[in-house]
Amino acid sequence: MKIKSPIILGLALLLSVQTVYSAPKQPSYRHADDLYAAVNEKVLKEHDAEKTGGSWNWFFDLEDRSYQKQKAIIQTAAAAAATGRAGPSGYKLGTLYTLAMDQARRDLEGVAYLDELMKPVMEAGTVGELMDALALLQYHYGFDTLLDIGVRAPDDNPGAYVARIRDMNFFLDVRDFEEEGYEAENKAYLTDHLSRLLTLAGREDGKETAEKVYTFVEAVAKSRDEGGYKKISVDELQKQLPNIDLRAYLGKIFRTMPAELNIKETASLATLNSYLTAEELPLLKDYIYSVNLQKFAPYMILDMEKARIEMEETYIGDADPLDPEKTAVTQVATLLSWDVGKLYADKDYTTEKKNAVSRMVEEMVEEYEAMLQEEDWLSKETRDRAVSKLKAIRLRIGAPDDIDRYLSDYVPDPDKSYLENVMALRREASEKLYDGYGQPVDRTVWQILPQELTPCYYPTDNSINIPVSVLEAPYFDPAADEARNLGALGTIIGHEITHAFDDLGSRYDENGDLVNWWTEADRKAFEERAEKIVAYYDDYETPGIMRQDGRQTLGENIADLGSMRCLTRIVEKKGLSAKRFFESYANAWASTSDALSDAIISGMDEHAADKVRVNAVLSSCKLFYQTYDVRKGDAMYIKPEDRVDLW
């Protein structure tokens, strides 16, 4: 953490719409030279990042719109719950929101419930008793502990869960402990912040405790080595942590005892083990209390949130302003996410939208199958497997029909404190997570909420996910003509379908397993075509845009190209307006960003800049040349032999 030089980076989700484009300075552009600028000149001027002081794209607008809708849902639910007219989800949301907004009551309740939960930890007389208490807090509520045990389905074997040990909570980024020139400021930031939180929690030794806790986390953090996750048996791990009974600890978290765990690094375990002694017991308790006090402070005393903001303004130079209403809405929407999603879908996912989008998706899958059948560079064996995978794609559009299965079973109790209700909801989720270990992964489960702005493809369950929140202008409008909807939403859907056959997705089969379903010759042909795409984007010149890294952006570029090929085939077959289609596509990726964002994103994002995503794709699109009479000498002209596609 570089104090007083903050860089706050909100990378877009799987379909990034950030770019390195500056608003056009010329009064107009020829479509054949720069379709992106010709279509978006007005909107880019309106959102000039250098004038407005920040980045913009349509997804930012949709994110704000989604938040406002969630806010209205929750606040309407609170009013209905108060009069006894709320439905099940509405009552849960309304009750929890009312508790969240009652800050006077939260201040009065203080940290009492946290102290109650922490009592077994603070009263532990031995390291063994401490670890027993921590295991239960982690299992029941997902508390931060000394061994952060997690559960996940790995990409290389997505059908089975693995247990893993992640880094313990160091409060700061682990790299901050080795950041030359900032050590003293980082320490001051953390110890001052912890000291204030501990004092607000009623601890008289806040400053002294914060200093000791910092020394502990610094020692463990600096002893880490770098490396990726690796498997280690429980017996081998026990040898590195001889001061605790590892099996007893894991036995309180898992119903099925893991035989091995995935661990990011093991070098710090020796340091941690040296602290797992009776002499260091008070320090370990102080660390556990401090790290969880910080974790749950936003659900308790308002002055704790004020302290966080003041510390960030003092040491970092900037912080979001205090907004209790927004904080309450965000917390409730997170804790009862599927209940919000149900009401969100009920309101926004109309039958008209559902039917129209379903027809669009079905038509695109049918056209994609025709494309695959025509790929003469594939053997019949591989082509048949590709078609089977296409037909097996789980199309998660809008919201699940069986959405009730995802709803929380817990009904908030107005007679209990806000934090007590929060912990009950966390308990429901945490126990479900750990109890799932040892069971097969249910790959029919939706992972994207209706209100999330995250259209994506998951190779590990072979699904495309297009949530309700995306089904709005400028991406989709039931009243718009078909060409415009295909140019925006259609190309997003086609992009996600193509991800099933990009450089990563093509390595997973129709079930989502990491299986090689390619012949050796076909995989070689795939890679040769992919290399041409890498070179194409490396060499593609766009005024005002730095050269793109074709290898880093390969998967997204394959998806863009495949989507455009599928959609233009549909446009031609149905006799739709190609101009409206292309202009809708260009407009969908309109975005601006300031110089700082440009510098940060460059070299980091797996997507090409938005202007490149439009112009480079269309420079390899035959219908684009026909539509705008693009000829040699025009800026977007690429020689036919240099144009690329993979599918």
Please give the DSSP secondary-structure letter assigned to residue 207.
Answer: H
pLDDT tens for 11-30 read 333 333 333 334 444 448 99
Q: Which of 35-49, 118-132, 334-348, 486-500 has the lowest mean pLDDT?
A: 35-49
Instruction: Please measure the distance between the N-terminal and C-terminal CA atoms of the chain and give it in whole angstroms.
Output: 44
Compute CA 203 distance to the chain's CA centroid, rounded to the nearest angstrom.
Answer: 37
Tell whether the model's pLDDT for residue 416 goes beyond 80: yes
11 vs 82, which has greater pLDDT? 82
Cis peptide before 474 (omega within 30 of 0): yes
How much is the pLDDT for 272? 97
pLDDT tens-digit series, residues 596-622: 666 566 667 899 999 999 999 999 999
Could you write out the DSSP letters of every residue in 1-65?
--TT---------SS----------SS---TTT-HHHHHHHHHHHHT-HHHHTS-EEHHHHHHHH
Bridge partners of 166? 148
Question: Using CA atoms, how far apart are residues 364 and 486, in angstroms rounded to an integer?
Answer: 10
Taking only the tens place, the pLDDT of each residue in 138-196 is 999 999 999 999 999 999 999 999 999 999 999 999 989 888 888 888 999 999 999 99
pLDDT at position 9 over 50 = no
DSSP state of 632: B
Mean pLDDT taken over the chain? 92
User: Which of these ranges, 73-87, 453-467, 544-558, has the smallest mean pLDDT?
Assistant: 544-558
Percentage of the chain exceeding pLDDT 70: 94
Can you tell me the distance from the alpha carbon of 550 to that of 538, in angstroms, rounded to the nearest whole number? 5
Confidence bin at 218 (pLDDT 50/70/90): very high
Please, which pLDDT band fits residue 593 given cuts at 50, 70 and 90? confident
Q: What's the pLDDT score for residue 602?
A: 63
Is the pLDDT reported for residue 640 higher than 80? yes
Q: What is the pLDDT of residue 594?
A: 75
Q: What is the pLDDT averaged over residues 396-419? A: 97
**pLDDT at 420 exceeding the cut of 80:** yes
Query: Is pLDDT at 521 greater than 50 in this prediction?
Result: yes
- Cα 438 to chain centroid, rounded: 26
- Amino acid 318: pLDDT: 83
Instruction: Output the pTM of the full model.
Output: 0.92
Mean pLDDT of 277-303: 97
Residues 374-403 pLDDT 10s: 999 999 999 999 999 999 999 999 999 999
What per-residue confidence (pLDDT) applies to 90? 98
Cβ neighbours of residue 445 closer than 8 Å, sequence gap 6 or more: none
pLDDT at 603: 66
pLDDT tops 60 at residue 415: yes
Phi, psi dihedrals of residue 632, rounded to the nearest 5°: -55, 130
